[in-house]
Structure 1
């Protein structure tokens, strides 16, 4: 249950248990290592990591330090930014592995630890979007019910459950990832040490709970939301207009997420079919290997696009940014004034001397 490929330079058979490799992929020649795997791929990862860290820190700073409390939708978006930041911080390790031509350069325990935030990001991100979709669905379709359940405490509880569920789905990464030397590739690979049955079981769980179920829920809510927006009258109340602004941002975030993550999940499903022996053509296997690298990096780049969307599309977010900078400007001005006042008072105090001192 791991969104990372075992190795971009290795054949899919390496993900099987040592000595128990799949007969399906053994008929195909091993994938050749391409130079761009150790140059272009890590460069893209490092650039994505730097931009993602800066931008998601900025988003969290705006949500956390603004004087007004976050709305339910903003609580979900801030947790989404935290998940993205979690991923971006750990991404340079995978870039270093790619630079080393996927010959694992770190301690063995890091092999199981560092993919954990990457997998948690994949699971948590999509379920945060599920929560956001449900919130927007209820707000637009059942507004009376929304007032009763759209409380920050419920949103925080939902986020806590999502983090726990993401960790639960990522446990196989901690248990089964290991480092072993493969003479076939003359490398020590960080791979998932599954048996064939365990592999198919965990892949099925990943594809079902990590993609199929949540994407169906998001699609259903999104279609109802769009239908509801189209049926609205031109004249809307102020509260309805605010709901529409929030919904517009959510829809754009959902669309970009689908564009970035769906190709990667489709490749994961195809990979599962290859492992199960359903797909046997060597050309298909080779193309899936190439696509896994490209689409994985596209999925990572989604963590950079989300903060940009908040600024470009989110009018309420821009108001929060302006309000935060205004608040900081006022605080800075007050600090400077207080400092100058203290200094002026200090300078205005004249020293007093006793008679003895004057005589001397």
Structure 2
């Protein structure tokens, strides 16, 4: 987690710096990708506290407020990431499959509004974490834990079920539908604009990375939820699921490091923005030096 924090912070700050300080206005896909970088930055900024908790054998050394804030930060990233990718998929779907019918909707101001709604929605969906996440001391094991204290088992099952529906089933269905339509259109249409093709290639790479990193964790969550609901009960199976969940959560967190790397490797437009930004800084430095000499 500490490695993910270091690399994720540096890479995502670099991405935000390129998008924010470049003279050219961001395109619609770039607005979504910059918000995705911001969501990843929120996640990695909270991981050091959880890393300390894990290294301390889950004995929470911080305050109850920080317990809630760290949990909300991780939850915010989960919601923001998946719904920003859903918006990106919808944008690419309209850009390639229906390029003329929804051109007015594909404007930067609507993209910014969509991002704002995603952030607000993510915050609202994390209200139960603010309500039920608590710090409790267990004298029999001499441990203070930061955990979700649901009022009863029914509330737990309902909330986890809603969570699974809204952060996995619904957005993944949207992303899958749009991605399949985009791929079919690209196969049929050979004269796709280079600009749209470059943006779409980067988006598809980011979508694939997200699915590879997050899909195993969500599938294990569903299996664990079914086990806790009484569909099956075997001690060895429950232990195996718990281990898988612990492993796959690190894979999911690694997605926050992988996204900025993909922007550089796959995103030619992003690389051009980086060059423009460095040229812009070099020119400014040269102008300042000349002015000082004069």
Q: Distance in 1 between matches of 2:245 and 2:141?
A: 19
Q: Does 1:269 align with 2:216?
A: no
- Per the alignment, residue 223 of structure 1 pairs with 180
Q: Distance in 1 between matches of 2:273 and 2:102?
A: 23
Correspondence list, 1:137-176, <5 A: 137-176=93-132
Q: Distance in 2 between matches of 1:270 and 1:108?
A: 30
Q: Distance in 2 between matches of 1:284 and 1:143?
A: 49
Q: Does 1:74 align with 2:27?
A: no
Q: Distance in 2 between matches of 1:225 and 1:283?
A: 43
Determine helix, strand or coil for the equivalent of 1:63. Answer: helix
Among candidates 321, 333, 358, match of residue 286 of structure 2? 333
Among candidates 110, 134, 140, match of residue 90 of structure 2? 134
Deviation at 1:185, TM superposition (A): 4.2
Deviation at 1:184, TM superposition (A): 5.8
Among candidates 150, 155, 164, match of residue 207 of structure 1? 164
Deviation at 1:183, TM superposition (A): 4.9
Correspondence list, 1:96-135, <5 A: 96-135=52-91
Among candidates 33, 38, 46, match of residue 2 of structure 2? 46
Q: Distance in 1 between matches of 2:198 and 2:208?
A: 16
Q: CA RMSD in A?
A: 1.0
Q: Distance in 1 between matches of 2:140 and 2:63?
A: 22
- Per the alignment, residue 291 of structure 1 pairs with 244
Determine helix, strand or coil for the equivalent of 1:181. Answer: strand
Moved over 2 A (4+): 181-186
Determine helix, strand or coil for the equivalent of 1:142. Answer: coil
Q: Distance in 1 between matches of 2:30 and 2:140?
A: 50
- Per the alignment, residue 179 of structure 1 pairs with 135
Among candidates 154, 168, 171, match of residue 197 of structure 1? 154
Determine helix, strand or coil for the equivalent of 1:179. Answer: strand
Q: Deviations over 1:165-190 (max 9, x none)?
A: 11111111110011113356442211
- Per the alignment, residue 45 of structure 2 pairs with 89
Determine helix, strand or coil for the equivalent of 1:255. Answer: helix
Q: Deviations over 1:292-342 (max 9, x none)?
A: 11100110000000000000000000000000000100000000000010x
Q: Distance in 1 between matches of 2:229 and 2:46?
A: 31
Deviation at 1:56, TM superposition (A): 0.2
Correspondence list, 1:295-314, <5 A: 295-314=248-267
Determine helix, strand or coil for the equivalent of 2:256. Answer: helix
Determine helix, strand or coil for the equivalent of 1:109. Answer: helix
Q: Which structure has the larger Rg over C-alpha atoms?
A: 1
Show structure 1 runs of 5+ residues with no match: 1-44, 342-360
Q: Distance in 2 between matches of 1:123 and 1:267?
A: 18
- Per the alignment, residue 17 of structure 1 pairs with none
- Per the alignment, residue 24 of structure 1 pairs with none
TM-score of the pair, normalised by structure 2: 0.97
Q: Does 1:259 align with 2:212?
A: yes
Q: Deviations over 1:28-57 (max 9, x none)?
A: xxxxxxxxxxxxxxxxx0000010000000
Larger mean CA deviation between 178-187 and 89-98 belongs to 178-187
Q: Distance in 1 between matches of 2:234 and 2:47?
A: 32
Q: Distance in 2 between matches of 1:145 and 1:185?
A: 63
